[in-house]
Amino acid sequence: MALFLLQRSGTDDDFAERFQTKEVVRVPGMAIYMNSDLDCTPPALIHNLQHNKVVHERVILLSIKTKEIPYVPPAERIEVYPLDNAFYRVVLHYGFMEDPDVPRDLALARQSGLAIELDKVSYFLGRERLLPTHRPGMAIWREQLFALMSRNVRDAADFFRLPPEQVVELGIRVEM
């Protein structure tokens, strides 16, 4: 992920503080924003807020963590942390031999007091498109090759078994 996105997004606490001071429309439903970094607010959430100026009534900031064990028992699969303003930080843990199944495992959140209507939730994913430039640093042919390879990675929605009709992808173009 681009370094400037991480710097711009800030922590969940920083975001909650900024969120309280802004005029933002809350729309019905629940949104799940996936993010690999527990220390930053998902860039897709910030991007959506900047351009659409709306946030769902309930928001889950979801991270997936792979442990250095083959399998994680279901009792240790999920952590739920309530934040301010109907925001939640949820962490799903998987062993290195497991294939993630996010919808199946989000059902475990009910045990922690977070009820999720899995058939009505929207999953928001961020997508960065890398653009090669002639700026100093990496040779242009290397930037072009790296950008091409980044477009060929496996689709996150498929990898995490998200229902296709419930996935929203928000993209940003990033110059290398």
What's the domain range around 114? 3-127+136-171
- Tell me if 108 is assigned to some domain: yes
- Tell me if 76 is assigned to some domain: yes
Which has the closest alpha carbon to 127: 43, 55, 64, 63?
Answer: 43
Number of domains in the chain: 1
On the CB side of 60, CA atoms within 13 Å amount to 28
Residue 142, amino acid? R
- Tell me if 141 is assigned to some domain: yes
- Tell me if 9 is assigned to some domain: yes
Whole-model pTM: value is 0.79
pLDDT-derived band of residue 118, with 50, 70 and 90 as boundaries? very high
- Tell me if 160 is assigned to some domain: yes
pLDDT-derived band of residue 39, with 50, 70 and 90 as boundaries? confident
- Tell me if 176 is assigned to some domain: no
- In what order do the strands lie in the sheet containing 87-95? 78-82, 87-95, 54-67, 25-34, 122-131, 167-175
Average pLDDT over residues 166-171: 88
Longest CA–CA span in the chain (Å) reads 52
- Tell me if 11 is assigned to some domain: yes
